Amino acid sequence: MTMRADEIVYPTEAGLYCAPGDFYIDPLRPVARALVTHGHADHARPGHGAVLATRQTLEIMAIRYGEEFTASRQIADGPIRIGQTTVSFHPAGHVLGSAQILIVPDKGPRILISGDYCRVPNPVCAPWEPVPCDILITEATFGLPIFRHPDPMAEARRLIASMAEFPDRPHLVGAYALGKAQRVIALARAAGHAAPIAIHGALKRLCDYHAEQGIDLGPLVAATEPATKPNPADHDTAQLVLAPPSAFASPWVQRFRDPVLCYASGWMTVRARARQRGIELPLVISDHVDWPQLTATIRELAPTEVWITHGAEDGLLRWCEIEGFAARPLRLIGYEDEPE
């Protein structure tokens, strides 16, 4: 007998659960068996009995949590039988190692869990692939029609132009340690910035890992100049500095003289968000689908049903209603608003 989709996959306290396979996807608390879409901390947590993920996601988890982050691990490679399902991982274009997970039950509809995904080419990870499915379980971080991310190269050029306009002011770019930081670096390189880029200590291990994976980030130096050093123009210190956004609120910033605070995030579309953080140069660079990509994905995959995990679900639900797609919110909590 064929199972209904909502008997196969449904939300539980520990996260999204697949009954015929007896596993969780991106669980929020320790479980016996977890399938992890990507290495961001709100999706990949330590302490599970077994983790199935892409090789890179497993390695990133080991870097973040230590080799003991799970009792056993398995690299997702090709279709894998779990219980009465076959699962497979497909590139999501979000960050290095990120994947969409397709669940094909022995009896029942094909269910695709998008994870976080992005369809704009990104030099630091494999591009998103369309995966035909009956049920699309998607994120909706930017599920409002105001979110139309500009060409990331144009944003990188704005950054470079600002550095030329203010050659004496260091440019501090707030960017998350996994994915965003490396992407900003790669974009700056593509926009012609060849000089060494300084990185905050919290970014080092993941930048090193990207380089090991064959992603060329160019010369990186540690942003450890003491506070007494004057203008970067007088010394050969890097003018472009990357740091996790949280560093902007810490005394670490004080070592830079008259810095231009920049922040690379899809949220920078909205001025109030930039102003709230005291950002002088907002850069709209996002690793999530924007509204046009999100709606195009639904149109192209044309699933019989759309389930929305987290984000601005009201906007996307309304769009599905207008366009005639059956949709429902899962209202999963625990996935942060902005591990962007």
Partner 1 sequence: MKAFARLLERLAFTPGRNSKLTILSHYFGTTPDPDRGYALAALTGTLDLRQVSASVLKRLASDRVDEQLFRLSYDFVGDLAETIALIWPAGAATGSQAETGAGVSVAQAVNLLNGTGKLALSGVIADLLDRLSPPERLALLKLATGNLRVGVSARLTRSALAMGTQRRVEEIEEIWHGLSPPFQPLFDWLDGGPRPDPAPAPFRPVMLSTPVTPAELAPLDPRDFIAEWKWDGIRVQAVSEQGIRKLYSRTGEEIGAAFPDIIEAMTFDGAVDGELLVRRGDEIAPFSDLQKRLGRKQVSRVLLRSHPAALRLYDILTWQGEDLRPLPLAQRRARLEAAGIDSPRIDLSPLLPFDDWNALAQLRAAPPVPQIEGVMIKRRDAPYLAGRPRGPWFKWKQDPMLVDAVLLYAQSGHGKRSGFYSDFTFGLWDGADLVPVGKAYFGFTDEELRELDRFVRKNTVQRFGPVRQLAPKLVVEVAFEGLNPSPRHRSGIAMRFPRIARIRWDKPAAEADRLTSLKGML
For binding to partner 1 (CB under 8 A), which residues are involved? 119-120, 144-151, 154, 158, 162, 165-166, 169, 248, 251-254, 256-259, 261, 269-272, 274-282, 290-293, 296, 312, 314-315, 318-319, 322
One-letter amino acid of 173:
V
Shortest Å distance, C-beta 208 to partner 1: 27
200 binds Zn ion (CB under 5 A): no
Instruction: Identify the three-state secondary structure at position 135.
Output: strand
> Contact, 8 vs 21, CB < 8 A?
no
Shortest Å distance, C-beta 277 to Zn ion: 20
Q: CA 122, CA 95: separation in Å to the nearest integer? A: 8
- Nearest residue (CB) to Zn ion, 73 versus 180: 180
The site partner of 276 among partner 1, Zn ion, none (C-beta below 5 to 8 Å per kind) is partner 1
- Counts of helices then strands in the chain (DSSP H, E): 8, 19
- Nearest residue (CB) to partner 1, 110 versus 255: 255
The site partner of 77 among Zn ion, partner 1, none (C-beta below 5 to 8 Å per kind) is none
Shortest Å distance, C-beta 143 to Zn ion: 13
Pairing label, strands 220-222, 240-243? unpaired
Count of residues that bind Zn ion according to CB under 5 A: 3
Shortest Å distance, C-beta 151 to partner 1: 5
Name the DSSP class of 132: -
Residues of this chain, 311-340, that bind Zn ion according to CB under 5 A: 335
- Nearest residue (CB) to Zn ion, 142 versus 335: 335
Which of the stretches 10-18, 27-35, 115-123, 255-263 binds Zn ion when contact is defined by CB under 5 A?
Answer: 115-123
- Nearest residue (CB) to Zn ion, 45 versus 169: 45
List all residues 6 or more positions away from 211 whose beta carbon is below 8 Å from its beta carbon: 217
The site partner of 303 among Zn ion, partner 1, none (C-beta below 5 to 8 Å per kind) is none
Q: CA 318, CA 329: separation in Å to the nearest integer? A: 11
- Nearest residue (CB) to Zn ion, 116 versus 305: 116
List all residues 6 or more positions away from 165 whose beta carbon is below 8 Å from its beta carbon: none
The site partner of 81 among partner 1, Zn ion, none (C-beta below 5 to 8 Å per kind) is none
Shortest Å distance, C-beta 43 to partner 1: 24
Beta-bridge partners for 70: 48
Question: 95-123 as b/e, with b when 16 or more CB fall inside 10 Å?
Answer: bbbbbbbbbbbeebbbbbbbbbbbbbebe
What is the distance, to the nearest Å, from the Cα of residue 300 to the centroid of all Cα atoms in its chain?
22
- Nearest residue (CB) to Zn ion, 64 versus 169: 64
List all residues 6 or more positions away from 175 whose beta carbon is below 8 Å from its beta carbon: 181, 183, 184, 242, 243, 244, 245, 263, 264, 265
**Site track 37-66 with Zn ion (rule: CB under 5 A), x = hit:** ---x--------------------------
Shortest Å distance, C-beta 246 to partner 1: 13
- Give the helix/strand (H/E) hosting 52: strand 48-53
Q: Which of 116, 290, 305, 313 binds Zn ion (CB under 5 A)?
A: 116
The residues that touch Zn ion, with contacts defined as CB under 5 A, are 40, 116, 335
